[in-house]
Amino acid sequence: MKSSGPVVEPNGHGPAPPSPALLPASSGRSGRGPGPSTRPALIVLVVALGLFVAGAVAGGLATQNGPSSAPPSVRTAPGAVLQAAPARHPLRAITAGGQPPDDLIAALAVPKGSTPVAGSATDRGVGLYDRSLRFEVAASQQAVISFFRAQLPFERWHVISQGLVAGSADYRVIAQHPASDGHEWEIGATVSPTVFADTTSGGAPGGTTPFTVRLFVVSDQA
């Protein structure tokens, strides 16, 4: 009769190890080879891919919608009487090719509600740049004069002259401001007398005041 006990090695040191052929088919471990797990690397890769896709989508939306279109704003100077509005859009008829420089335009304001007069843009063709544009605004001449006398210094323009234009009732404020192109720029704001229209025909009750803005590069010649 065969014994049911363990088989003892001839040397007497204990039971013999089972034959590899008798091992269970699955020992409870995965069948991957030796070495560190690749799971953390896969997680990092998935996160990086997600961030890349999110960034690409955001970039596409930014390109589609264009740069931030936050409306420009300008502060009204104390004593300006009239509310200030950025001059960039109203002056577009005389701005082209980066002239005047962007930082100079940013330092300019006109009375809110000013409307450019169609066909009034003038290029004198003198020096590097010398152009002007005429506006109309529903306000008195004195209010428009007060606006430019207060707003130009507030925007760091150096007023060099102001007063009535010889032989007329126009009032002119002249100021200078340096720009990023290395040139000194000059503005001449000429305010004409108020025109009072018949209010029964739809005219402004307080009248309309024309004014002209002239911008030019100060010549280096003495």
- Over the chain (222 residues), the average pLDDT of each successive run of 10 is 50 52 47 54 64 55 41 85 97 93 96 97 89 97 98 98 97 97 97 84 75 90 46
What domain range includes position 118? 84-217
Residue 178 counted as domain residue: yes
3-class secondary-structure state, position 211: strand
3-class secondary-structure state, position 123: strand
Residue 187 counted as domain residue: yes
Residue 147 counted as domain residue: yes
> What pTM was estimated for this model as a whole?
0.66
Between CA 150 and CA 74, with CA 141 as vertex, the angle to 5 degrees is 35
Residue 65 counted as domain residue: no
Would you state the pLDDT for residue 96?
A: 86
Residue 150 counted as domain residue: yes
The structural domain count of the chain equals 1
Would you state the pLDDT for residue 189?
A: 98
Would you state the pLDDT for residue 26?
A: 46
Would you state the pLDDT for residue 73?
A: 75
3-class secondary-structure state, position 176: strand
Would you state the pLDDT for residue 148?
A: 98
CATH of residue 190 = 3.40.1000
Residue 32 counted as domain residue: no
Residue 195 counted as domain residue: yes
